[in-house]
Amino acid sequence: MAKAEGDVTIKKYANRRLYNTGTSTYVTLEDLAKMVKKGEVFTVQDAKTGEDITHSVLTQIIFEQESKTGNTLLPVSFLRQLISYYGDQMQMVVPTFLEHSMKTFTDQQVQMREQMTSAFGDTPIAKNLHLPMQMMEEQVRRNTDMFRQAMQMFAPFAGAATPPQHQSAPPSGKKAEAKDIDELKEQLRALQGRLDSMST
């Protein structure tokens, strides 16, 4: 497919067909996956309502990729943890953390690829098959540690959320909501500062 200038709009019709307005052709989810890998930016809109459905379509692409034998990226343990955060008080923090973590991982890809190329180029491949796996495991371990530390930051706040029995009940109504929002903002600022320091 020819690459159009700028962001591309994909129209999704009631019959589930996808139309690339940049190339004036019908495309498949596999085509969209290839566009993502090439770094092409696109948005998906419902052809009838104009609603932005990019998130749901990208999620569908991930589902299809994960369904392919031997092509999974998301471990079962990660999926379980991710599901457990839906509806939890931490739900609004998880997307920011995951985005930050993936950005850090992407920034380090060039260095990792250079190290892998160097390893395979200097010695026989058979003797170095463990090196890429070790490097990947180390990166996953770092991201896991960052996530664990970030979650631990909220432990003091969670403990402080329940006042001792002898203290008066917290304020109710709009004052309580405003206080909760201010505390949450402060927690998010603290978390962002911790993530920035850990990434450097």
Read off the pLDDT of each residue in 32-43 and give the average, rounded to a whole number: 93
Per-state percent for the chain, helix, strand, coil, to nearest 5: 60, 10, 30
Query: Are residues 10 and 42 in contact, defined by beta-carbon separation less than 8 angstroms?
Result: yes
Give the pLDDT mean for 150-170.
50
Give the pLDDT of residue 9: 96
Using the predicted structure, report yes or no on whether residue 26 has a pLDDT greater than 80.
yes
What average pLDDT does the segment 121-131 reach? 50
Ranges 4-13, 28-37, 140-149: which has the least confidence? 140-149
Q: What's the pLDDT band for 165 if we cut at 50, 70, 90?
A: very low
Measured CA to CA, the distance from residue 36 to residue 5 in angstroms comes to: 15
The span from the CA of 145 to the CA of 51, in Å, is 38
User: What are the residue boundaries of the structural domains of the chain, listed by start?
Assistant: 8-67, 76-157+182-199
Within 10 A of 171 (CB to CB), how many other CB atoms are there? 11
At residue 139, the pLDDT reads: 63
Q: What is the 3-state secondary structure (H, E, C) of 8-75?
A: EEEEECCCCCEEECCCCEEECHHHHHHHHHCCCCEEEEECCCCCECHHHHHHHHHHHHHHCCCCCCCC
- Put simply, whether the predicted model's pTM sits higher than 0.75 gets the answer no
Distance between start and end Cα atoms, the chain: 39
- List, for residues 53-82, the tens digit of each pLDDT value: 999 999 999 998 888 867 788 888 988 988
